[in-house]
Amino acid sequence: MAMALLIGWASCRADEGMWIPMLLKKYNIEDMQKQGFKLTAEDIYDINQASLKDAVIGLGREGYPFSHFCTGELISDEGLMVTNHHCAFDMIQSHSSLEHNYLRDGFWAKTKDEELANPGITASILVRMEDVTDRINSQLTPEMTPEERSERIKQVSSMLEKEAVEGTNLQANVKPYFNGNQYFMSVFKIYRDVRLVGAPPSAIGKFGGDTDNWMWPRHTGDFSVLRIYAGKDNEPAPYSPDNQPYKPATFFKISTKGVHEGDFTMVFGYPGTTKEYLTSYAVEQIQEIENPNKIAIRTAKLNIINAAMESDELLRIKYASKAASVANAWKKWQGEVKGLNRFNTVETKQQEEKAFRQWAAGKPAYANLLDRYQSLYAERKDLVLAQAYLSEAGMQGAEIVSWSARVYNTLNSEVFQKNPQKVIEKIRAAAQEFYKDYDTETDRKILVEMLKLYNENLPAAWVPAEVQAAASKGVEAYAAALFKKSVFASEEAFNAFISKANDKSCRKLEKDPAYSLYASIYRFNADNIAPKLSRIANEIKRLDEVWLAALMEMQPERHFYADANSTLRVAYGKVQGYAPCDAVYYKHFTTLNGIMEKDNPEIYDYDVPQRLREIYEQKDFGNYTQEGEVPVCFIATNHTTGGNSGSPVLNAEGHLIGINFDRAWDGVMSDIQYNTEICRNISVDIRYVLFVIDKVAGASHLIDEMVLVD
Ligand code: ARG
Ligand code: ASP
């Protein structure tokens, strides 16, 4: 039994894994070529000459440039870039109003002058990677506590980062890989002027909406077009009208050849987080506690937001982006639970752990490893439940609560003491953004629901005092009073408050009911949850490091990959359909016909734009067809996760065939357990992107910038 399991482990299929570009030459390229890839490892990653990596962009935000929220790719020598519609959703939304409803109608800059700036968005290009494991390990001793280790690692990392970019305009970032068994430094050049060039209407870019999200068959034209700008010297510069389109070292050529089942594909981008080496104890908690409770809280939130959006077009704009992000994780958690159940992940892991216990018997380094996990997770159980409510229903429940904290913390800072006027201006700008998309009535309803759930679903010992007080007053009455009295409840009241802000304002806010509620939740966390959870997390982190090292020792033949950590990775596999259940096989591609089949003006998510209906009637498809039909999306076996959205999907020649944007429902558990039979990444076919740009948007000047190859 144990032997069979070991063999099962060792032979995981090639499609699984997210590989480190600088190590492809050593570990993967032979296999990739065997699967059909025609280029070399140096074509993908080379630090001495241009390689494909120079055309892959990590999209981030000022202040957090290394936590890439999405990926993009360069497709012209003038800095033109594509990513997903949902990746640029915030940008499109913030440029939208009832007069210029770019979310609904789409947006296309006719000239470069019309391209719209997006302050705060960053575009990182990887310059090089370096293995710094030895330099970090040499600073660690076995005597260190988990906290001391973490602290030391942080110190050494930041020293290495500084040293690596001294005297340059680059930025470096060290991250742990393989649960901290190795460390790599990524050095980036980070551009800071990223403009919106075009986006299709949401009825194309978000076609199917949250109904089809995480599902296959899919018909979403999930793409948008951006452009990177640089200073006159082609180097990063903050936004300026004088900036020039960035001239990249290289960019992706676009393949019009078509996509066939069995074709080699590779995804090159910035996957965020996976947890493939969790123990059964951890998976059990995700499946039984964390996901179900977070799902329940978000269901309540979404019921309110969706009803508001249905009732009014302005509310639809205001809440579009918020609803999409709440719904996205909400649905993913459900798919994840379903997949973990279906594939008996916990049982499989228990079997593996049993085999491990046998192997580890008599090896002192690993003695009690699993027992220590078990007791830490037992200790963590109630805490994660409490934390789910604290964050989902408390801190990120009603927006008035988090907004009050943001203002309070800004006013309570040293910067405010030094330069009050400047800080007030900053708060005013943030307030304008906040109230633009805020609806008091919707938020009040959310607060009521959150307070209710918080009290009903948790034992009183885990409920902060003020949340309990709300229940004893009656949550409706409590919320009504809060919204009546709080200065945060309306833009007018807030403006009146902030125009008189001075060094006593914080004291005043401490009596504000919205802030008081926040303060009570915050204090409860600081006293009862955060310190314990962070100690446990640190101990688990240390165990995770040992656990993975042990697995590697136990299975010397197995080819391990490092969990995703928002660094650049390569996943490769094949274009392939799949069987979701008995008697059903899903084809690997969808077409425009399927959009028309779904068309229904009565259903918001399926209301096809009139222009697209006309093109379909007239069969005005240009060259964007395969066997007479316009392809829309396709699926493949590439191992991807959140953050991979917008990633280039390449063929065997390294040409762009699609833009990655999602995964198929039956395989959404792939962050925890990948399964080649059923896990599929979903991409929008690049020919559909061209079709929409050309035929729907009439923006063929953009296509003229690109290089199309057969
Ligand atoms: N599920 C995809 C991802 O995780 C797409 C999300 C955006 N679409 C949406 N309907 N919310 O990001
Ligand atoms: N939709 C995800 C993203 O935004 C991709 C995924 O989770 O598969 O990165």
All domains of the chain, ordered by start, with CATH?
1-271+571-710 (2.40.10.120), 280-550 (no CATH)
In this predicted structure, what is the pLDDT of residue 6? 40
CB 709 within 8 A of CB 253: yes
In this predicted structure, what is the pLDDT of residue 274? 98
210 lines ligand 1 (CB under 6 A): yes
In this predicted structure, what is the pLDDT of residue 619? 97
Six-digit token string for 185: 């430094």
The answer to whether residue 222 is catalytic is: yes
Q: By percentage, how much of the chain surpasses pLDDT 70?
A: 98
**For a substitution probing ligand 1, which of 309, 645, 660 has the most ligand atoms within 8 Å of its CB?**
645
**609/623 Cα distance (integer angstroms):** 21
Task: Give tens-digit pLDDT for 253-311.
Answer: 999 999 999 999 999 999 999 999 999 999 999 999 999 999 999 999 999 999 999 99
Q: What is the DSSP letter of 392?
A: I
202 lines ligand 1 (CB under 6 A): no
Ligand 2 centroid to 70 CA: how many Å? Answer: 8
Residue with token string 């007080």: 469
Atom of ligand 2 nearest to the CA of 70: 9
Ligand 1 centroid to 596 CA: how many Å? Answer: 22
Output phi, psi for 709, to 5 deg. -130, 160
Residue from 15, 43, 212, 222 carrying the catalytic annotation: 222
In this predicted structure, what is the pLDDT of residue 7? 38
Q: By percentage, how much of the chain surpasses pLDDT 90?
A: 94
Average pLDDT over residues 665-670: 97
CB 676 within 8 A of CB 15: yes
In this predicted structure, what is the pLDDT of residue 28? 95
Task: Give tens-digit pLDDT for 366-409.
Answer: 989 999 999 999 999 999 999 999 999 999 999 999 999 999 99
In this predicted structure, what is the pLDDT of residue 9? 43
Average pLDDT over residues 219-234: 98
| pLDDT greater than 80 at residue 616 | yes
Q: Render 189-205 in DSSP notation, one character per residue.
A: EEE-EEEEEEE--HHHH
214 lines ligand 1 (CB under 6 A): yes
For residue 588, give Cα distances in angstroms to 217, 572, 622, 630: 9, 16, 23, 14
Ligand 2 centroid to 605 CA: how many Å? Answer: 19
- pTM of the predicted protein model: 0.94
Instruction: Indicate the pLDDT class of residue 5, thresholds 50, 70 and 90.
Output: very low
CB 458 within 8 A of CB 389: yes
| pLDDT greater than 60 at residue 576 | yes
Average per-residue pLDDT in the chain?
Answer: 95
86 lines ligand 1 (CB under 6 A): yes
Nearest ligand to the CA atom of 322: 1
Q: Which of 351, 344, 340 is nearest to 291 (CA)?
A: 340
Burial (CB count <10 Å: 0-12, 13-18, 19+), residue 16: buried
Does residue 79 sit in helix, strand or coil? Answer: coil
**270/67 Cα distance (integer angstroms):** 9
Ligand 1 centroid to 244 CA: how many Å? Answer: 32
| pLDDT greater than 70 at residue 522 | yes
The answer to whether residue 655 is catalytic is: no
Atom of ligand 2 nearest to the CA of 682: 8
| pLDDT greater than 50 at residue 1 | no
Residue from 85, 86, 219, 655 carrying the catalytic annotation: 86
Q: Which of 351, 61, 58 is nearest to 188 (CA)?
A: 58
Task: Give tens-digit pLDDT for 578-614.
Answer: 999 999 999 999 999 999 999 999 998 999 999 999 9
Atom of ligand 1 nearest to the CA of 323: 11
Residue nearest (by alpha carbon) to ligand 1 atom 10 = 210
CB 566 within 8 A of CB 272: yes
| Ligand 2 environment, Cβ below 6 A | 70, 640-645, 661-663
The answer to whether residue 131 is catalytic is: no
Ligand 1 centroid to 664 CA: how many Å? Answer: 11
Ligand 2 centroid to 227 CA: how many Å? Answer: 22
Task: Give tens-digit pLDDT for 155-166.
Answer: 999 999 999 999
Instruction: Indicate the pLDDT class of residue 146, thresholds 50, 70 and 90.
Output: confident
**For a substitution probing ligand 2, which of 89, 640, 674, 682 has the most ligand atoms within 8 Å of its CB?**
640
Residue nearest (by alpha carbon) to ligand 1 atom 3 = 662
**111/101 Cα distance (integer angstroms):** 19
In this predicted structure, what is the pLDDT of residue 147? 86
Instruction: Say which residue, 31 or 9, is predicted with more confidence.
Output: 31
**Helices (H), ranges, 200-312:** 202-205, 209-212, 280-285, 291-311
Say which residues have a Cβ less than 8 Å from residue 479's Cβ, sequence separation at least 6.
444, 447, 448, 451, 470
Nearest ligand to the CA atom of 681: 2
CB 278 within 8 A of CB 540: no
In this predicted structure, what is the pLDDT of residue 13? 55
Give the H/E segment covering residue 129.
Answer: strand 121-131
| pLDDT greater than 80 at residue 11 | no
CB 515 within 8 A of CB 509: yes
